[in-house]
Amino acid sequence: MKFIFKVVIIFGLLSACAKPVKVAVTPGSIPSIPAKVAIAPVQVIGTATVTLPSGQKTIAVRLSNPAAKGIEDYVKGDGVFSEVMAIKEDAIPTAPGIPEVVQAGRDVGADVVLLGKIVEFIGQHEYGFRPSLKEHIVFELSAWETATGSRLWFKKEGLDLERHEKISEWSEEKIEDRYVSIATEDILPIVLSKIVPKLHEDMASYKPPAKEKVAVATAEFTVDVDRVPRTATEVKKNSFAVVIGIETYRDLPQAEFTVRDAKIMKEYLIRVMGFPEENIATLLNERATKGDIEGYMGTWLKNNVERDSTVFIYYAGHGAPNPLTGEAFIIPFDGNPAFPEATGIPLKNLYQKLADLNVKETFVVMDSCFSGGGGRSVMAKGGRPMAISVENPVLASGNVVVMTAASGTEISSSYPEKRHGLFTYFFLKGLQGDADFNGDKTVSLAELYNYVTPQVKKIAKERQMEQTPVLLPGIDFLENRANIPLGRVIK
């Protein structure tokens, strides 16, 4: 093994219990970075094994929390950031990727997330004239901006350390505890004493981005539509929305990217369209049962809206046909396409409930399809795809406008490169400003439809598919409603 450097200390017998890293630091002359930082749980890469008399054993689970606490104590003690907080271990998955870590930082209101990783760890013992425990650790610390998901800073340090101990007289449990305490109380303070001052020095001039540039964390932090501009000039207090995204179903195949679609759509409703956050009901996965959806579409809206209200409904998930009647159904989390009448939600009923609200305007946007031919549609086993119409007489004369992702026997497909539904991606792209054809800094319903349709058809054609968004009633029947501004843009 090639050691980075070696520290050998004659060390007396101490407590064998693992404790958080303790560091004595003196605040430096560099002012605190004016940002809120969140310390993520430290990740241990690999098995982090130690050698015991009976064989090897992993101690990875015992290293993470003390290491994270050590980072937090050191950053606080050195006054690196103006505010320091910790991300709870249960706030992120067991083996999170960078997107999940950064999103957890956003969830606690941080500007920056510090992520520590123990990327190498080996613990060995030696008997003989001078028995000892030897450890080798390589530690990484990186800083990630929650606004953009970009990495701001990175540093790696390694250390080999040997402690002479009377291990021949110890139990295996005591030897294991000593391995942990050497790592967390001896090695990591030395490593952090090298890394954290460098972090402070290198990021001294950092300032968080302006609020209007803050992005929603994404899977790779490169998706343009996930950087949601704050362009709404007023909060429309009498606007209400129900946003539904069902990716994981109880008994059905997954509907790819639908939860992400719904989460980002909510951000556009708030930042671009001016909907109050408290007026948006968001139903995701198991919270989008038939009872949940019908309750919010019916009772919740009815109890809140007024005559001059605006209502916006967004649905991303599976749809299904009834092969006997040709009727289209939304499939909730607990739905079954074999029994659409009993477990699904008929589109005709949804349209009627929304029309009965008798509000100023209602918009329904559905990234779903109903033919049963795949994509975001399902069908009972043995069934065959069929042409389904999502039109309804209610739409011809009322104030409900519907835009759907596909028509007829077409399927609503995903856009893996953008990690969204194909239709939703271009819907959001249009709201960002690409649909502002006349340059008046607003996007109207007609502009959005006229932008989304050719874009979706083009990408679908490149993939040997057909997908044509549908606007109901047709653009020619909307009259003045076609010019309703949906959002402001900054382009």
Q: pLDDT tens digits for 132-159?
A: 899 999 999 999 998 877 889 999 999 9
Flag whether pLDDT at 231 surpasses 70: yes
Instruction: Check: CB of residue 282 under 8 Å from CB of residue 353.
Output: no
Which of 140, 175, 209 is the last residue before a domain boundary? 209
Flag whether pLDDT at 217 surpasses 50: no
Instruction: Check: CB of residue 266 under 8 Å from CB of residue 254.
Output: no
**Per-residue pLDDT tens for 424-465?**
999 999 999 999 999 999 999 999 999 999 999 999 999 888
Task: Give residue 140's pLDDT.
Answer: 94
Answer yes or no: is 244 within a domain: yes
For 142, phi then psi, to 5°, come to -130, 150
Task: Give residue 395's pLDDT.
Answer: 64
**Per-residue pLDDT tens for 31-60?**
999 999 999 999 998 778 888 888 888 888
Flag whether pLDDT at 86 surpasses 90: yes
Domain that holds residue 106: 6-209
Flag whether pLDDT at 197 surpasses 70: yes
Are 472 and 344 in the same domain? yes
Are 15 and 76 in the same domain? yes
Are 194 and 229 in the same domain? no
Answer yes or no: is 372 within a domain: yes
Q: Which residue has the higher pLDDT, 21 or 458?
A: 458
Give the mean pLDDT of 88-116.
84
Q: What is the pTM of this model?
A: 0.58
Neighbours of 476 (CB within 10 A): 7
Task: Give residue 178's pLDDT.
Answer: 93
Are 73 and 169 in the same domain? yes
Which of 175, 209, 243 is the last residue before a domain boundary? 209
CA distance 255 to 288: 14
Question: Both tokens of residue 164?
Answer: 């002479």
Flag whether pLDDT at 166 surpasses 70: yes
Helices 258-271 and 422-429, interaxial angle, to 10°? 20
Answer yes or no: is 269 within a domain: yes
Are 175 and 26 in the same domain? yes
Give the mean pLDDT of 248-262.
90
Instruction: Check: CB of residue 459 under 8 Å from CB of residue 420.
Output: no
Q: 347: closest CA among 328, 332, 366, 363? A: 328
Task: Give residue 261's pLDDT.
Answer: 94
Are 381 and 236 in the same domain? yes
Answer yes or no: is 215 within a domain: no
Q: Whole-number mean pLDDT of the chain?
A: 84
**415 three-state secondary structure:** strand
Are 110 and 252 in the same domain? no
Which of 187, 209, 231 is the last residue before a domain boundary? 209
CA distance 24 to 71: 12
Give the mean pLDDT of 99-126.
89
Q: How confident is the model at residue 399 (pLDDT cuts 50, 70, 90)?
A: confident
Q: How confident is the model at residue 1 (pLDDT cuts 50, 70, 90)?
A: very low
Answer yes or no: is 214 within a domain: no
- Please spell the DSSP secondary structure of 241-294, one letter per residue: EEEEE--S-SSS---TTHHHHHHHHHHHHHHTS---GGGEEEEEGGG--HHHHH
Task: Give residue 99's pLDDT.
Answer: 80
Flag whether pLDDT at 196 surpasses 70: yes
Q: How confident is the model at residue 167 (pLDDT cuts 50, 70, 90)?
A: confident
Question: Both tokens of residue 12?
Answer: 């007396």
Are 187 and 264 in the same domain? no
Question: Which residue carries 């995204």 as its tokens?
Answer: 245
Peptide bond into 473 cis (omega under 30): yes
Q: 145: closest CA among 115, 179, 189, 124? A: 115
Task: Give residue 375's pLDDT.
Answer: 53
Flag whether pLDDT at 61 surpasses 80: yes
Percentage of the chain exceeding pLDDT 70? 85
Q: How many domains does the chain have?
A: 2
Flag whether pLDDT at 387 surpasses 50: no
Which of 21-25, 179-183, 283-287 has the least mean pLDDT?
21-25
Flag whether pLDDT at 90 surpasses 70: yes
Percentage of the chain exceeding pLDDT 90? 55
CA distance 127 to 364: 73
**89 three-state secondary structure:** helix
Answer yes or no: is 362 within a domain: yes
Are 302 and 437 in the same domain? yes
By DSSP bridging, strand 6-10 and strand 151-164 are parallel
Q: How confident is the model at residue 394 (pLDDT cuts 50, 70, 90)?
A: low
Flag whether pLDDT at 5 surpasses 70: no
Are 351 and 419 in the same domain? yes
Are 335 and 388 in the same domain? yes
CATH at residue 36: 3.40.50.10610
Amino acid identity, residue 469? P
Flag whether pLDDT at 12 surpasses 90: no
Instruction: Check: CB of residue 231 under 8 Å from CB of residue 488.
Output: yes
Q: Which residue has the higher pLDDT, 142 or 491?
A: 142
CATH at residue 258: 3.40.50.1460
Q: 14: closest CA among 147, 173, 128, 185? A: 185
- Please spell the DSSP secondary structure of 81-112, one letter per residue: EEEEEE--GGGS-SS--HHHHHHHHHHTT-SE
Instruction: Check: CB of residue 262 under 8 Å from CB of residue 284.
Output: yes
- H-helix or E-strand spanning residue 75: helix 60-77
Flag whether pLDDT at 26 surpasses 80: no
CA 67 → CA 39, 71, 182, 186, 424, distances in Å? Answer: 10, 6, 12, 11, 41
> What is the distance of C-alpha 390 from the center of its chain?
31
Answer yes or no: is 218 within a domain: no
Task: Give residue 15's pLDDT.
Answer: 31
**157 three-state secondary structure:** strand
Half-sphere exposure of 207 (CA within 13 A, CB side): 5
Q: How confident is the model at residue 127 (pLDDT cuts 50, 70, 90)?
A: confident
Answer yes or no: is 229 within a domain: yes
Q: How confident is the model at residue 385 (pLDDT cuts 50, 70, 90)?
A: very low
Which of 152-161, 164-173, 261-270, 433-442 has the least mean pLDDT?
164-173
Are 433 and 472 in the same domain? yes
